[in-house]
Every structure is written in C-alpha cells, then in structure tokens.
A and B are shown apart, each in its own frame.
Chain A
C-alpha cells in the first residue's frame, strides 16, 4: 500500500494531515505513533474510507493493490470490507451487538463473507478462538458480549476479523482501553495471527511501548506531518527528530 502526498483539510481549511508519503510493504506491521490530535485516526479513516463529512481530501492518492482508494465509491469499498480490508477498534465492548450472542455474530460474519454453511462456520470460529488463546470456546460462543472481560472481547474481535483472512488490517488503538496484562495478550495474538496469515497490519497507537513490541517499522506523526519513518530499531535507538526524542523520553519503560 502506498500513500502519496496526501493532504486532508477540515471545513476551515486547517490541514489535519499535511503531505503524507508512506510506503507500506506487503506483509509488514507498521505502527503509527503520535500524540492526541496528531492525525493518527484521520489517517486510519482515510484508508478505511470512513472520513467524517467535515474533513476532505485536498490532494494526494492512496494506492492499495491496484485500487485508488480516494476515488472509490461506497459500492467498491463495501466489497473490500471484510475480504480485503478490515479494522479493529479501540473499545471492544462497543464493537459487538450487545443483545446478540457472540457465537451468532461470529457465525454470521463468517458465513456472509466466506460462504460456508453453519457447522463449518462454527468450527472456523472455534479454531480462531483457540488461536487467540481462548480455549473455553463453547462457553464464549454462548455468551453475550457483556459477560466477557474487555481483554477477552478484544481477542474475540481479533478472532472474528482474522477469520475473514483480510489482506490489510487497520487497528485503531487496539490496546488502549485494556489493562497491562490484557494488552500484552492481545498484542501477542495479533502478532501470532498476522505472522500466520501474512497480512499487512497498520497499528495506530499513542504508546511507543506497544509500537516497539509489535511493529516492524514505526511512523511518528506530529501535527499532521510525518516527522520520522523507519525500521523499529532505527527509530527507537537513534531518533532523528526532536519530537521523537521527546516522545521517547516521556515513555517511562520500553
């Protein structure tokens, strides 16, 4: 995936993202790091085609495989979702319908995308849950979302999204609402699953420790500009830009 000279403006012509150039290798994990308001989520929205109506792409292109994402209409996007492109969100408990059992949602998501019958869908669901280290699969599939902890729910979400075998996963702050222990578990499962399915992953996070744990390369965003982009070790060990140094020194443990 390639982003070229992308500029996004709001109603008052303030630049939210300013001339972003980014080349993401297929199969790699890229972390986008930055403080609140640096444009991380806007970047994710641009890629996902869910830019809020008050923001506009002023210039630039996003090339994904052979699609020019900024020109796509909703119909084509709808086809991409699930099979090619999918997302994991910050708040796991809001991502599942609260009044439908997890199993039913899981099965419906699988069978509407991969066209398998119900028994096959259930076995896929169980396999995916086991891969995310949730071994009590019967019980989880028979629960409502509120019966599980947030860490477990996020792992269920990850299991659902990876069951679709997407080629590009956008994870918007996947661990920020979790406690430290679940954070590590969730990151481990994401690493494990993406190395298995070889898909490209873009992780939006404000935590450098998350980025250093999971990513191959790190992008540092500051006020809509990319101030640093490089391999993980390079960015962490010899930061070039003052802002990165500031971020690094403010992170307590790495």
Chain B
C-alpha cells in the first residue's frame, strides 16, 4: 500500500514536471548555438548541446510533455478499444466473437508501417493522426488478451458461483480481468514511447524541431560514437519512465489480486 502511494506520487510529480517544464527550463529548447554543437556537459549547460547546439537539458524538459502525452493518449485509445472489443467477443461468443477476431486477424496481416502511412496520408500528417492510425491497428493485441482472459475466467467454477450470487459481466470484467490488463497496459508504455519515436523519425510523429524524447534519440543516432551523451540522456529518461510504470503496474496487480 505504502509502495503504491510512493509510486503514485512519483508519477504525479513526473506529470506535473512535464506540465511546468517550460517555466523550469533554463533556456530555449529551439535556440541554435553553433559554438555548442556536440558540446559535452559542463556546469552551465548541464547535459551539453546536441548536433545543432541546442541545449539537451531544456529539450528533455520540454520534450517530457509531448512524450508522455502522446504515450498516454495512445495507450488509452488502444486499450479502451481493445478491452471493449475483447470483452464483447469473450462474453458474447458466437458470431460477434468470430467477427471481431477475424477483423483483428485482417488488421494483423497489414504491416503496421504501411497501414499508418495510408491512414496518415488520408488524414494528414501529425502526431494525433498517427495515434489514431496506431490505435486502429494495435487494439487487436488487447482484445486478444481480454478475450482469452474472459474465456478462461468464465470456465472457473467460482465465476459461475459469482454469477449465481448476482455478479454482472461488468463486475466480473473489473474484478478478474482488469488487474491483469492494467499490468499489460503499464508494461506497454515503454514500447509505445519507443514506437512513437520510430514514427517521429519517419516524419509521421512529432514534427521537428519540436523536442520529443524519441525524436531526440533518433536524431542523435549517428553521433553515438563521437558524442554519446546525445543519446544517453533521452535514453535514460525513457528508461526511467518505463521502469517506473512497469513497477507501478506490478504493484497495482499485487494490490488488486492477492488481497
């Protein structure tokens, strides 16, 4: 319980930090300073400069907002869509099950990059359209997990007994399925940050020069040997967020199930 509170406070702190970042950042994240190209960290510019001489520390702070917001939006979109579809397929069974799962199979057969390029091509370039496109294809993963969990739980005798004592489908979903899914969702945040970074790199995500952690990673890829700090700091930031949410998910699961 105490652990969960600590983790929640860290997460809230992180989110607040990303909101107030523009006021905290020591300098303009878009300002180009040719004298500081690939500069190593020193006491004035804490984390050094990137390949255009922009200040990495400021860019990290500013980028937190775009990174976290897009990742949360993405995970919310795909998990809500996926859980609803999976629950319908699992509880209803029969024709709706077949229909939803075959649609899912069809979507899985598409290479996701092609799908995203097509959808973004139709809707216009921008991070929100990329999120919509990716949600449309990645819900399948959640719906499959949800469906299998629902089917598995429904075969348990205690679910049958719970039904007989008046538990509704929604209650069964929340009590038995959500704890497992929440962990999946939290574990996935890391993957999504990296994936969105990949799409940013292709020009389908956050548009440069706006700072975003994934963007920063892919932009500094070529300097890995000469100026590794360009990749280390955004990488470290992503790493910490991913670890935080994984830990968060596992603590939440322990709380929700074994109690």
User: Size band of the B side of the interface?
Assistant: 10 to 19
**Contact yes or no, A81 B163, CB < 8 A:** yes
The answer to whether A151 has its CB under 8 Å from any CB of chain B is: no
Verify if A89 is at the interface (C-beta below 8 Å from B).
yes
B158 pairs with A87, CB closer than 8 A: no
The reply to whether the CB of A227 lies closer than 8 angstroms to some CB of chain B is no
Instruction: Please determine whether A89 and B166 come into contact, CB atoms closer than 8 angstroms.
Output: no
| Contact between chains at A81 and B165 (CB < 8 Å) | yes
Task: Establish whether residues B168 and A160, one from each chain, have CB atoms under 8 Å apart when the complex forms.
Answer: no
- Select which of A50, A82, A100, A157 is within 8 A of B166 by beta carbon: A82
Complex contacts, B176 vs chain A, CB 8 Å: 97
Contact B167 A50 (CB under 8 A): no
Contact of B158 among A81, A94, A108, A113 (CB under 8 A): A94
User: Count of chain A residues with Cβ under 8 Å from any Cβ of B?
Assistant: 28
Does B259 sit within 8 A of A, measured CB to CB?
yes
Complex contact B259–A82 (CB within 8 A): no
Q: In whole angstroms, how far apart are the Cα atoms of A50 and B164 in the complex? A: 10
Q: Which residue of A lies closest to B164 (CB)?
A: A87
Interface flag for A48 (CB, 8 Å):
yes
User: B164 contacts which chain A residues (CB < 8 A)?
Assistant: 48, 81-82, 85-87, 161
- Chain A residue nearest to B156 in the complex (CB): A94
As a 0/1 sequence over residues 153 to 183 of chain B, the CB contacts with chain A under 8 angstroms (1 = contact) are: 0001110111111111101000110000000
B95 within 8 A of A: no
Cβ contacts A179-218/B at 8 Å (1 or 0 each): 0000000000000000000000000000000000000000
**Structural contact, A95 and B161, CB atoms closer than 8 A:** yes
Interface flag for B44 (CB, 8 Å): no
In the docked arrangement, what's the CA distance between A224 and B160, Å?
25
Contact of A86 (CB < 8 Å), options: B158, B165, B175: B165
- Assembly CA distance A193 to B68 (angstroms): 57
Chain A: CB-nearest residue to B166: A82
Q: Across the interface, do A113 and B157 meet the contact criterion of CB distance under 8 Å?
A: no
Chain A residues, CB < 8 A from B175: 108
- List the B side residues contacting A98 at CB < 8 Å: 158
Measured CA separation A87–B161 after assembly (Å): 7
Interface residues of A in 145-167 (CB under 8 A from B): 157, 160-161, 164
Which residues does chain B contribute within 8 Å of A94, judged by CB atoms?
A: 156-158, 161
Chain A residues whose CB sits within 8 angstroms of the CB of B257 once the complex forms: 99-100
Name the A residues within 8 Å of B156 (CB-CB). Answer: 94
Q: Does B109 contact A (CB under 8 A)?
A: no
Give B21-50 as 1s and 0s: 1 = Cβ < 8 Å from A's Cβ atoms.
Answer: 000000000000000000000000000000
Tell me, yes or no, whether B114 is within 8 Å of chain A by CB: no
CB within 8 Å for A160 and B160 given contacts A100-B259, A101-B259? no
Is B122 an interface position by the 8 A CB rule? no
**Interface membership of B1, Cβ < 8 A:** no
Report whether B165 and A89 are in contact in the complex, using a CB–CB cutoff of 8 Å.
Answer: no
Contact A81 B157 (CB under 8 A): no
Minimum CB–CB distance from A69 to chain B (whole Å) comes to: 14
A96 within 8 Å of B by Cβ?
yes
User: In the assembled complex, how far is the CB of residue B216 from the closest CB belonging to chain A, in whole angstroms?
Assistant: 43
Taking a contact as CB atoms under 8 Å apart, the answer to whether B158 and A97 are in contact is: yes
14 further A-B contacts with Cβ under 8 Å, apart from A100-B259, A109-B166, are A48-B164, A78-B163, A78-B168, A78-B169, A85-B164, A89-B157, A94-B158, A96-B158, A96-B161, A99-B258, A100-B257, A100-B258, A113-B165, A161-B164
5 closest A-B pairs by beta carbon, nearest first, are A82-B166, A94-B157, A95-B161, A87-B164, A113-B166
List 29 contacting pairs A-B, 8 Å CB cutoff, sorted by A.
Answer: A78-B168, A78-B169, A81-B163, A81-B164, A82-B165, A82-B166, A87-B161, A87-B164, A89-B160, A89-B161, A91-B157, A94-B161, A95-B157, A95-B158, A96-B158, A96-B161, A97-B162, A98-B158, A99-B257, A100-B259, A104-B259, A109-B166, A109-B167, A112-B171, A113-B166, A161-B164, A161-B165, A164-B165, A164-B166
